[in-house]
Structure 1
């Protein structure tokens, strides 16, 4: 395979963008493992008392990921996220004004390999979420497993990530003053296994639990589509029934996380690596509303969803 190297005279802003995305990829793929290893080393060192104190903190703080998390506007406004945004670039497009007195579910598609659009738009202020939707607070839902990893859990909660458990979503949607936006990657981890350039396979039919919770709490549904999300990485061919897909499906059911075999570009060359390609991401939030329908015999009726 011929390797296409990056030129040496790249502007500084481009190098800063690459560095910003590199640290994000590291955080996504390896930071949790490093945090866990660091905690284990702390436990067996002379500083084990600190590990014990942190274990006590974990117990006392165990409900925070399902109770709105612990966001940090300081972290969400780091300048590094602007470089992250400009790398692709990432854009958030609003097509409707939302009433901050209501709570919302943003149904996000597609998941993509690493959810770059979801992170850039809803876990940082790089794309100006609070300016586009004043009075609204976004929360990106993430698998509960990651909130059990020492130190890593505290870092991701600073960005506004919360657990994807039912109790967590109910907490956000039941806020009496409104203004909460729960961003749900509807396809979940399985959708990542079909994320590749030029393809769009969505997991929808068996993903209806969030709709039931929206009805229960009177929340509004807003469909969100992230154009370009699947163009960021190539992925090994894994059609249904293939040995690779069989292994990926079984590991996903066992661990709860998908393991897509993907490749992108490198830091100093464009032929292979773990960095995403520089492809634009346009995340569009559309308008929607519920329509109550009355049953024929005076029952509870049904609720329809219109766009």
Structure 2
């Protein structure tokens, strides 16, 4: 239904689709830090009411618990099975596909590409059980590795840790993969979006530009902990929005670089759809996303890896990533001639 060029959603849609849209809206608001603002507002507001003790209690708890995101997190299993995640998954839909079985007696770093604008597939695949991770990879425990800033807000930190997420810090990954403290058992998976905020600025539809050439920290950690590397590609992640391509040297690109350098966030210029309008909005489009988990690269633990060892393993990882892309692009891309650009 169009009015003055604006395309509205039909008045009558199945309840299932309405719930899917609300589930994705919840995540988009979460990603845009809406709940961080609410969390800080409640914290300071309660200080000036008769419930001030709640804020004081939480501040004490926050101080005591501050290092938890860096030491294995605090996963609450039932939070990963909420119905909202099923609707979130079905909105696109997102599908998790394995190519080989993974040994639960090993630890792994899943290198996920591309980052996309809001990392929808990474969240639903590795921050929830909606795509059936426990049955696809029995014995493995995933930890979605996300920005440290997600763990500063009173509400956000608890939410993300409930989903099994941990902070993106070297000490955090080593704690999980070295089987220390509460992570003594094997089968630990660090699901890491390697390209980060910079890659989100390059999330153009149909584009597979991966920021990898200078990202070698995860390879060094794999060597130091003996964790196997697993390339993971999400076909369709970059198609969720019509991202505007920014000209090199433009003011917008300078702002993006500033945000990346000082705030560690991406600021892609996007156009999506709304709740009731299809022409524009902040919600992603309904595009299928297929996340392919490749075969593991065996890694032998080296306490102090040399630059040459890191370089060799990094090159092998990129080779396996390219192989995984070429083997699967015919199935999941409209244009089979699409190539990966490694930057």
TM-score band w.r.t. shorter chain: over 0.9
- Deviation of the 1:40 alpha carbon: 1.7
Answer yes or no: is 1:216 the counterpart of 2:219: no
Answer yes or no: is 1:193 the counterpart of 2:196: no
Partner of 2:281: 273
Partner of 2:107: 103
Total equivalences in the alignment: 301
Q: Tell me whether 34-43 or 88-97 shows the greater mean CA deviation.
A: 34-43
Partner of 1:203: 211
- Deviation of the 1:236 alpha carbon: 2.8
Q: 1:10 to 1:44 in 2, by over 3 A?
A: same
Q: 1:272 to 1:235 in 2, by over 3 A?
A: same
Q: Tell me whether 237-246 or 223-232 shows the greater mean CA deviation.
A: 237-246
Contact between 2:246 and 2:253, CA under 8 Å: does it hold in 1? Answer: yes
Q: For residues 20 and 100 of structure 2, what CA distance do their matches in structure 1 show? A: 31
TM-score (norm 1): 0.94
Contact between 1:136 and 1:180, CA under 8 Å: does it hold in 2? Answer: yes
Q: Aligned with 2:154: secondary structure? A: coil
Answer yes or no: is 1:5 the counterpart of 2:13: no
Partner of 1:251: 259
What's the C-alpha RMSD, in Å, of the aligned pairs?
A: 1.7
Q: Aligned with 2:291: secondary structure? A: strand
Structure 1 residues 28-72: Cα deviation after superposition (integer angstroms, max 9, x where no partner): 111112111221212233322211111110111011101111111
Q: For residues 203 and 38 of structure 1, what CA distance do their matches in structure 2 show? A: 38
Contact between 1:110 and 1:187, CA under 8 Å: does it hold in 2? Answer: yes
Q: Point out the structure with the larger helix share.
A: 2
Q: For residues 234 and 40 of structure 1, what CA distance do their matches in structure 2 show? A: 38
Q: What is the correspondence of 1:111-260 to structure 2 with a 5 Å cutoff?
A: 111-175=115-179, 176-260=184-268
Partner of 1:20: 23
Contact between 2:226 and 2:299, CA under 8 Å: does it hold in 1? Answer: no
Partner of 1:295: none
Structure 2 gaps of 5+ residues are 301-305, 321-343
Q: Aligned with 1:177: secondary structure? A: coil
TM-score (norm 2): 0.84
- Deviation of the 1:142 alpha carbon: 0.9
